[in-house]
Amino acid sequence: MLTELQISKLERFFYVLDYNRNGIIEKEDFIGIAENLCILWRIKEGEEKYNVIKKRFEDGWKHFDMFVNNNDGKANWDHWIRFAEEVIVKGDEAIFNHYVDEFVGEIFDNFDTDNDGYIDLDEYIDLLVGYRIEVRFAAKSFRKLDRNNDDLISRGELIRAVKEFFRSNDPDAPGNLLFGRALLSN
């Protein structure tokens, strides 16, 4: 059974992915995020880079849809919470680790814009802005996620944060701040 904190974090993530806020996560939400990032990065529709970013998020949707609800094209709250409880929180460790690796890989593919193998504060802010997450928590969240205090989030630090976000029931776990804040009520 999921704890109250885990449900709150899962609700936060659902809300982050439901870009158009219609209560269903679908391909259009992922496209909306891609378009938002292109605006942020001043990439115009029709440019090759625009198409690359859009394709990346379309592929991200395919992975998400495959993991969450067997490719039916939409993920409502019931799909999401069932998947989260059965696969992410209580599921097989190999499947969970694969999901985390895919998720972290997509974050690096999309937000490590200088391709140095790290997420810096500006790139982390882009992640928050791209997903329309309030940025006032960015500096605090970034500091907590950067566990070795080198002003960069490594792949290992991000993997640890994602695992904490999904599985930890510790209200003080740094991974809870992955999306700027852990609880909708904060």
Decide if 183 is inside a domain: no
pLDDT at residue 184, rounded to an integer: 40
Q: Domain range for residue 88?
A: 4-177
- Using CA atoms, how far apart are residues 143 and 83, in angstroms rounded to an integer? 30
Tokens 């395919």 belong to: 62
Q: Domain of 36: which CATH number? A: 1.10.238.10
- % of the chain exceeding 70 in pLDDT: 94
User: For all residues of the chain together, what is the average pLDDT?
Assistant: 88
Q: For the segment 53-103, what is each residue's pLDDT rounded down to a tens digit?
A: 999 889 888 877 776 765 567 888 888 888 888 877 777 899 889 889 988
119 backbone dihedrals φ, ψ, rounded to 5°: -105, 115
Mean pLDDT for back-to-back runs of 10 residues, the chain (186 residues): 88 89 92 91 94 90 72 80 80 86 89 95 93 88 96 98 93 91 48
pLDDT at residue 70, rounded to an integer: 55
Residue 169 neighbours by CB distance under 10 Å: 14
Q: How many domains is the chain partitioned into structurally? A: 1
Please tell me whether residue 154 adopts helix, strand or coil conformation.
Answer: strand
